[in-house]
A = this chain, B = another copy of it.
Amino acid sequence: MSDFSIPVRVYIEDTDAGGIVYHANYLKFIERARTEFLRAKGFDKAALFDDELMFVVSAMNVKYSHAAKLGEELMVTARVSALARVSMEFEQRVFFRDRELFSASVQIACVDRSTHKPKRIPATLISALAGLSEKES
């Protein structure tokens, strides 16, 4: 597993009365990983906001295999699997130790912050991510 990854600790805030992580919260975990991935590439969400850009989730395909529990330290990965002019796709996973708990394919659209219309992903970000893809393949 050479994907970009961050550790995420499961706190009581993340759980539900089933004694496991509430299913919608995995979406928060994987977004944190995307955010840190972009930050590691030099792109800060707040800074993108200032440029009137916003990345929004446009579609997602997710699979829950095993439940995460209170106190566990999870590993959350992020990898760019497709890159276009106004959108990109991430493949993401959540692990506890060697066990995959959750996987997701996430479509991200770049939009204007005010109008919500599609907008080109900044060229600098494209090249940072494209460079990465080349290096990886």
Contact = CB atoms under 8 A, between A and B. Distances in A.
Contact of A16 (B13, B60, B64): B13
Q: Which of A12, A19, A25 has the most CB of B within 10 A?
A: A12
A19 B59 CA distance: 19
B56 A69 contact: no
A79 B24 CA distance: 20
Contact of A27 (B23, B31, B116): B23
Q: How extensive is the interface on chain A, given as a class?
A: 35 or more
Nearest to A46: B71
Contacts of A23: 27, 31, 56-57
B49 A57 contact: no
B24 A11 contact: no
A16 B18 contact: no
Which 10 pairs, one residue from A and one from B, show the smallest C-beta to C-beta distance? Answer: A46-B71, A15-B17, A24-B27, A23-B57, A13-B28, A46-B70, A24-B24, A59-B63, A60-B62, A17-B70
7 contacts: A9-B32, A12-B16, A18-B54, A18-B113, A45-B71, A59-B64, A60-B61
Interface of A: 9, 11-13, 15-20, 22-25, 27-28, 31-32, 35, 44-47, 49, 54, 56-64, 66-67, 69-71, 113, 116
